[in-house]
Structure 1
Amino acid sequence: MENTLDILVFATNIRTSKDKQIISHTLNENSEIHQWNIDQEDIDCVLRIVSNTISEEQIINIVTKHNFNCTPLD
């Protein structure tokens, strides 16, 4: 059976390109994350994570460790 990829969606306060640079290295280095992006045009600065193994809690921990807010969206 094939693994399905989940898309986890979060509201963040990652607003500037500098903010994005701070978090991008950590997200890029995480082998469980297949793809990610931040919609900085959106009022919620929506972070989307594509993965089949990482949990919402792990993402929240990664992002908040860098002093950003991270709240799951439905």
Structure 2
Amino acid sequence: MIFVFKTSVKTKKQIKAFKPQIDNILPKAKWNFDLEDCDKILRIESEENIVHEIQKLLTIHSFYCEELD
């Protein structure tokens, strides 16, 4: 499944702050940010439903995160 999130992440430095935690939550998943998109999109390809975990992680790091349909 592919999950798409609108976020408030703006820089690669910000991504590096929580990258180890995403890798820990999603060890087999592929994920990336599109920081050039106006919605700062986070795309995750995972066999598991990880919506709640990702939203919680980004919220802990003070970022906005909303799953898009």
Report the TM-score, using the length of structure 2 for normalisation: 0.86
Report what 1:72 is aligned to: 67
Shift of 1:23: 2.0
Higher mean Cα deviation, 61-70 or 51-60?
51-60
Pair 1:34 & 2:21 matched: no
Identity, in percent, stands at: 33
Alignment coverage as a number of residue pairs: 69
Shift of 1:54: 3.0
Pair 1:61 & 2:68 matched: no
* Secondary structure in 1 matching 2:15: helix
Distance 1:22 1:11 in 2: 18
Distance 1:65 1:33 in 2: 22
Higher mean Cα deviation, 9-18 or 53-62?
53-62
TM superposition outliers: structure 1 runs of 4+ over 6 Å: none
Instruction: Name structure 1 gaps, 5 residues minimum.
Output: 1-5
Report what 1:3 is aligned to: none
What RMSD over aligned residues (CA atoms) do the two structures have, in Å? Answer: 1.4
1:33–1:54 Cα contact (<8 Å) kept: no
Q: Aligned partner of 1:47: which letter?
A: L
1:44 equivalent among 39, 46, 50: 39
2:5 equivalent among 3, 10, 15: 10
Report the TM-score, using the length of structure 1 for normalisation: 0.81
